[in-house]
Amino acid sequence: MSQYSQTPGANIAEVICDLRSDTVTRPDAAMRAAMAAAEVGDDVYGEDPNVNRLEAALAERSGKEAALFLPTGTQSNLVALLAHCGRGEEILTGRGYHVYKYEAGGASALGGIVLDPLGVSEDGGLRPADIAAAVKEDDSHHPITRLLSLENTHNGKAVSLARLDECIAPARAAGLSVHLDGARVFNAATALGCELTEIAGRFDTVSICLSKGLGAPVGSVLVGPADLIDRARRWRKMVGGGMRQAGVLAAAGLHALDHNVARLAEDHARAEALASALRDLGAGSVEQDTNMVFFTPATGENAVLGMALAKQGVVISAGGAGAIRMVLHKDVTDDGFAATLAGLKAHLS
Ligand SMILES: *Cc1c(COP(=O)(O)O)cnc(C)c1O
DSSP bridge partners of 145: 90
Task: For the chain, count helices (H), then strands (E).
Answer: 14, 12
Is the CB of 183 within 6 Å of ligand 1?
yes
Q: Please report, rounded to a whole number, the percentage of residues in the chain having pLDDT higher than 70.
A: 96
Query: Per-residue pLDDT for 7 more than 60?
Result: no
pLDDT in tens, 176-220: 999 999 999 999 999 999 999 999 999 999 999 999 999 999 999
Kindly state if the Cβ of 155 falls inside 6 Å of ligand 1.
no
Residue 9 has pLDDT above 90, yes or no: no
Among protein residues, the one whose CA lies closest to atom 4 of ligand 1: 73
Residue 226 has phi, psi (to 5 degrees) of -55, -40
Banded pLDDT at 169 (limits 50, 70, 90) = very high
CA angle 138-207-248, nearest 5°? 145
Higher pLDDT, 7 or 261: 261
**231: enclosing H helix or E strand:** helix 226-238
Report the nearest atom of ligand 1 relative to the CA of 72.
Answer: 9
Mean pLDDT of 139-159: 98
Taking the centre of ligand 1 as the mean of its atom positions, its distance from the CA of residue 36, in whole angstroms, is: 26
Q: Any idea which of 4-8, 170-174, 269-273, 278-282 has the lowest mean pLDDT? A: 4-8
Q: From atom 14 of ligand 1, which residue's Cα is the shortest distance away?
A: 183
Reply yes or no on whether the pLDDT at 251 is more than 80: yes
Residue 91: pLDDT over 50: yes
**Residue 82: pLDDT over 50:** yes
Ligand 1: residue of 75, 77, 99, 102 to mutate (most ligand atoms within 8 A of CB) is 102
72 lines ligand 1 (CB under 6 A): yes
| Cα–Cα separations (whole angstroms), residue 39 to 35, 51, 133, 217, 309 | 9, 10, 51, 18, 43
Q: Indicate if ligand 1 lies below 6 Å from the C-beta of 209.
A: yes
Taking the C-alpha atoms of residue 220 and residue 232, their distance in angstroms, rounded to an integer, is 13
Q: If you measure from the C-alpha of residue 59 to the centroid of ligand 1, how many angstroms do you get, rounded to a whole number?
A: 20
- Distance, CA of 99 to CA of 71 (rounded, Å): 16
If you measure from the C-alpha of residue 22 to the centroid of ligand 1, how many angstroms do you get, rounded to a whole number? 11
For 140, list phi and psi in degrees, rounded to 5.
-65, -10
Which residue owns the Cα nearest ligand 1 atom 15? 183
**Predicted pLDDT at 1:** 46
- Distance from the alpha carbon of residue 349 to the mean position of ligand 1, in angstroms: 35
Cα of 72 to ligand 1 centre, how many Å?
Answer: 7
CA of 213 to the centre of ligand 1 (A): 12
CA–centroid distance, 182 to ligand 1, in Å, is 9
Residue 10: C-alpha distances to residues 6, 26, 147, 252, 306 (Å): 7, 18, 40, 28, 8
Q: What pLDDT, on a 0 to 100 scale, did the predictor assign at position 320?
A: 85
- Cβ of residue 291 lying under 6 Å from some atom of ligand 1: no
- Residue 321's pLDDT is 87
- Global pTM reads 0.96
The predicted structure's pLDDT at residue 2: 52
Q: Residue 144's beta-bridge partner residues?
A: 89
Residue 310 has pLDDT above 50, yes or no: yes
When pLDDT is averaged across residues 89-97 and rounded to a whole number, the result is: 98
Q: Is the peptide bond before 197 cis (omega within 30 degrees of 0)?
A: no
